[in-house]
């Protein structure tokens, strides 16, 4: 087949991956790649060749709403619901329903199991206490270096106003703030940090929490007021 001359295929594959092959020619190339492994190989070869151009872009964490909506569309359960063991749910229910005293002591055995998880988190080093300009600390931040998780425990009253979320930022002198993610409204929230984010965290001196529109800052930089700040204690990481 004349069309399958390799130098022509190579050129088309290059322009396809670059994006300048358009319209019908683009569709035609896609069809050829489906039908002929050799054409597909040229295509993936160019994809690999040019992909470092993407790898070198500084990653930008998308707003939390992207995942939320995606999980909704695909019917994926919220992780809190899926992962909370029944005895923890029971403990919340007991508090809510006001059943105290005797019943609780009968159930202590089960509740202790619930606390085990917290105790493990308790062993992680506290790397920052976030406090408002005047007042006691409101959020305690712990870091699990191995899994790259930040655990945020609410120990004070600070809460985002209706229609807003809290977002956590790492601040380094002379650099733009780096978003570490939107903080869930639960008492215990956690954020996963990619390796490069962890490196950026190490180079930062301060953490800050700002109030942002639901789902986080639309621009990737803080847009709302800073509510809490805290010095990072680097000795513990």
Partner 1 sequence: MGKDVSRDEELALLLSRTALADAVAFETLYRRVSPQLFATALRMLRRSDWAEDVLQECFMKIWHHAADYAREHSAPMTWMTQIVRNRCLDWLRRPNLEQLVTEDDDPIGQYEDERPGPLQQLQALDEARALAQCLRKLEARTRELILLAYYQGESHNDLAKRLALPLGSVKSWVRRGLMQLRGCLST
Site for partner 1, rule CB under 8 A: 10-11, 14-15, 17-20, 22, 40-41, 44, 47-63, 65-67, 69-71, 73-74, 76-77, 79, 175-176, 192, 194, 218-221
CB 10 → partner 1: shortest distance, Å? 7
CB 53 → partner 1: shortest distance, Å? 6
Alpha helices, H only, the chain: 6-18, 23-35, 37-50, 52-55, 64-73, 79-83, 86-97, 101-106, 108-122, 195-202
Shorter beta-carbon distance to partner 1: residue 215 or 230: 215
Classified as helix, coil or strand, 136 is: coil
Q: How many residues does the chain have?
A: 237
What are the E-state strand segments in 115-198? 126-130, 139-144, 149-154, 164-171, 178-183, 188-192
The 10 Å Cβ neighbour count of residue 174 is 4
Shorter beta-carbon distance to partner 1: residue 175 or 202: 175
Shorter beta-carbon distance to partner 1: residue 20 or 95: 20
CB 153 → partner 1: shortest distance, Å? 21
CB 179 → partner 1: shortest distance, Å? 10
Q: Which two tokens stand for residue 217?
A: 């800052």
Of the CA atoms within 13 Å of residue 134, those in its CB half-sphere come to 0
CB 211 → partner 1: shortest distance, Å? 19
| CB-CB contact of 87 with 113 (8 Å) | yes
Shorter beta-carbon distance to partner 1: residue 10 or 144: 10
Shorter beta-carbon distance to partner 1: residue 147 or 161: 147
Q: Identify the residue whose tokens are 């954020």.
A: 191
């Amino acid at each position: 087949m004349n069309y399958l001359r390799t130098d022509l295929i190579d050129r088309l594959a290059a322009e396809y991956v670059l994006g300048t092959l358009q319209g019908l020619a683009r569709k035609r190339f896609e069809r050829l790649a489906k039908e002929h492994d050799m054409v597909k190989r040229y295509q993936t070869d160019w994809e690999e060749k040019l992909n470092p151009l993407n790898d070198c872009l500084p990653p930008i964490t998308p707003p939390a709403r992207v995942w939320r909506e995606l999980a909704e569309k695909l019917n994926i359960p919220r992780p809190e619901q899926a992962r909370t063991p029944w005895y923890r749910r029971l403990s919340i229910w007991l508090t809510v329903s006001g059943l105290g005293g005797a019943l609780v002591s009968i159930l202590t055995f089960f509740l202790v199991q619930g606390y085990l998880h917290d105790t493990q988190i308790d062993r992680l080093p506290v790397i920052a206490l976030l406090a408002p300009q005047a007042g006691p600390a409101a959020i305690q931040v712990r870091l699990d270096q191995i899994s790259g998780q930040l655990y945020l425990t609410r120990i004070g009253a600070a809460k985002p106003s209706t229609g807003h979320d809290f977002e956590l930022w790492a601040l380094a002198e002379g650099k733009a703030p780096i978003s570490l993610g939107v903080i869930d409204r639960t008492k215990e929230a956690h954020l996963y940090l990619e390796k490069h984010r962890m490196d950026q965290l190490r180079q930062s001196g301060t953490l800050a929490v700002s109030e942002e529109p639901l789902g986080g800052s639309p621009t990737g930089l803080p847009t709302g007021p800073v509510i809490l700040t805290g010095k990072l204690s680097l000795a513990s990481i």
